Amino acid sequence: MGDIVKSQVVLVKRLNSKAILPERMSSGAAGWDLFACLSDPLTILPQQRALVPTGLAFELPEGFEAQVRPRSGLALKHGVTVLNSPGTIDSDYRGEIRVILVNLGEQPFKVSHGMRIAQVVFSQVAPVRLRESAHLSETKRSSGGFGHTGE
């Protein structure tokens, strides 16, 4: 059995009284759904993008990040995804969480208030130190890049 991990507290502030708090849609879900917070519906035309507000801000514990990721249903059914996936929210950011949606589909896509537009996954960031080196160890892959292991 693995060690029991103590849960962390993420503070959430509503910047808009109509904002909907993130929700986990099942007990095993890694991501929490994010909801659009809009006064008026927004239409994203094919091949266009839009910055969609959530009306929320987070206070993440130091050493943590939040990643904004696409919802698979929107991607499959409508071709709508998060453009900078995953979008990173740093622990010292206190501004509104906004999602860059892009419509890669063939039809206009309407975003309305309360629509689930993305998901957010919280994770710990490993502390690292960078040290410059003139030489790196050799591996079987070495500098093989894109497509190195086949199609």
Dihedral angle, C-alpha 39, 41, 43, 44, nearest 10 °: 50
pLDDT (0 to 100) of residue 33:
98
* Per-residue confidence (pLDDT) for residue 150, from 0 to 100: 61
User: What pLDDT, on the 0 to 100 scale, is given for residue 6?
Assistant: 77
In the chain the domains, ranked by start, together with CATH numbers, are 11-124 (2.70.40.10)
pLDDT of amino acid 147: 63
Q: Is 81 exposed, middle or buried (0-12, 13-18, 19+ CB in 10 A)?
A: buried
- Contact between 116 and 35 under an 8 Å Cβ cutoff? The reply is yes
The two beta strands, 87-89 and 64-69, are antiparallel
Q: What is the pLDDT of residue 95?
A: 97
Tokens describing residue 56: 């929320």
pLDDT tens digits, the chain, 151 residues: what are they? Answer: 566 667 899 999 999 999 999 999 999 999 999 999 999 999 999 999 999 999 999 999 999 999 999 999 999 999 999 999 999 999 999 999 999 999 999 999 999 999 999 999 999 999 999 999 999 998 887 776 666 566 5
